[in-house]
Chains A and B, each alone.
Chain A
Amino acid sequence: MDRTNSSLSSPAAAPLRRFLFLFLLLCLAGFGLLQWPAVDRVVTQFSALLVTVSAALIRLFGGRVVNEQTILRSVANGFSVRMMNGCNGIHVTVLWAASVLAFPAPWRRKAAGLAAGMVVIHSLNLVRFLVLFYVGQAQSAWFDFLHVYAAESLMMFVTLALFWFWAQTVLRSASGLDAG
């Protein structure tokens, strides 16, 4: 996409309109898939895996925690958190996948972008989960604010910056690319 004539209504912005349409469609499809019981079971297993990894990381640094399925509990004070769909980074992953797949780029680039983005998103999400686990024990009054508003907003912001970075990499490497 060339940067001149970036108005949404201009003929030159047809790829951009196509991107927006595909992005919203893929978002709907992705969030719809998450409602399907079979997919929900897989996602729950994924959440359990993330909790297991979190528990292993805490133990590695000397912490004492117990994990059971999607629940992580502190042995010291009994504080526990359950990892649910909003906390396991799956919503952000859906948005990331929708934006990368909708962008006009070669499939090889899309696959690399999807994989790299997911690694970044889930690494960040793991840090978020661990931070929230400790904030919940130390300052329970802040837990809800950080969990529901701050951490989610931060994840979305980072994902947008990540997408910008990936899109510029794709555009730079594919000079003359106008449509996917």
Chain B
Amino acid sequence: MRVETRSPGGFLLRGLVLLPAMLALWWLLLLHPLLEMVRVSAELALRALPRAGALTRITEETGGDWAIRMPLPSPLEAAARQMFAPSQTPQVKTRFLTLRLPRQLFIRFTMAMPLFWAIVLAAPLSWRTVRAMAAGTALLGVLALASSALYVAHTLQQQMPLVSSRAGVFLLDFSHYLNTDALPYVAAIVLALWLHADLRSQVFFRRPAGLPQLEDRQPARTQAVEGRGRKGRGKKRGGISKGARP
């Protein structure tokens, strides 16, 4: 398996071309389908909640904001009754609530994708690129869903106390901060390094001096045997295997 060797400079130059291209692709073509996928997945997840029924849904309003109609978590029932219908008798129950959330936030939760694609495509190209692209995109989709859930939980906490302990409130606030300000950017980089073995290898591992542009990542001992057995290819492979350590 041949893997292209890239320098940080080449990576940067390719990225400077690929990043605007990926951002344009995401913004102009893929954003709407991605948001639809997040919306439908979130709706299905909400319907799996206890007491959720056909009335549980997420709709996009005319202004683009999302209206999330969901079952009220049990611990919040009393607070909701107090807030919305203090004069009514206890028999009146509030079972559902509707949250209206800005679309921009959900866009933000998918913005790691173009950065991830640009990193992976600017990295050494091999068959692993395709696998890393597919796995990373799927994981970022799941992350977008989890981020949306965390955002909804934080919004609920702002309206009525979902968590009452100080530690719990701090954790929720801190998670919200990471979720909106750090995760969209960090996730792309961490996932790219985690999923793309060749990129990881070239960033973190010593590059032998005088390494040719194309490199074989087979163990050195196997290459040496092949090098002796095959004329023509032996010289090139032997040179490469010198750099790699068993």
B-contacting residues of A (Cβ < 8 Å)? 1-4, 6-8, 16, 19-20, 24, 27-28, 31-32, 35, 85-86, 91, 95, 144-145, 148-150, 152-154, 156-158, 160-165, 167-168, 171-172, 175, 177
Query: Complex formed: what's the CA distance from A31 to B206 in Å?
Result: 30
Pick from A1, A4, A144: contact of B219, CB under 8 Å: A4
Contact A4/B197 with A150-B23, A153-B111, A171-B207 known, Cβ cut-off 8 Å:
no
Query: Complex formed: what's the CA distance from A171 to B209 in Å?
Result: 11
Contact in complex: B8, A161 (CB < 8 Å):
yes
A-contacting residues of B (Cβ < 8 Å)? 8-9, 11-12, 15-16, 19-20, 23, 27, 104, 108, 111, 114-115, 118-119, 173-174, 177-178, 181-182, 185-186, 188-190, 194, 197, 200-209, 217, 219-220, 244-246
- Min CB gap B31→A, angstroms: 10
Shortest Cβ-Cβ A-B pairs, 8 listed: A3-B205, A161-B12, A165-B8, A164-B8, A6-B201, A153-B115, A171-B206, A156-B185
Contact in complex: B200, A6 (CB < 8 Å):
yes
Contact in complex: B185, A148 (CB < 8 Å):
no
Contact in complex: A145, B244 (CB < 8 Å):
no
Contact in complex: B174, A32 (CB < 8 Å):
yes
Contact A85/B203 with A3-B244, A149-B23, A161-B15 known, Cβ cut-off 8 Å:
no
Query: Complex formed: what's the CA distance from A31 to B217 in Å?
Result: 37
Contact A16/B200 with A31-B178, A149-B23, A156-B185 known, Cβ cut-off 8 Å:
yes
For B178, give the chain A residue with the smallest CB separation: A31
Contact A91/B185 with A6-B205, A157-B15 known, Cβ cut-off 8 Å:
yes
- Min CB gap B209→A, angstroms: 8
For B111, give the chain A residue with the smallest CB separation: A149
With a cutoff of 8 Å between Cβ atoms, the chain A residues found around residue B16 in the complex are 154, 157
Contact in complex: A145, B27 (CB < 8 Å):
yes
Contact in complex: B245, A160 (CB < 8 Å):
no
With a cutoff of 8 Å between Cβ atoms, the chain B residues found around residue A167 in the complex are 203-204
For A166, give the chain B residue with the smallest CB separation: B8
- Min CB gap A85→B, angstroms: 7
Contact in complex: A149, B27 (CB < 8 Å):
yes
Contact A35/B177 with A149-B111, A163-B203 known, Cβ cut-off 8 Å:
yes
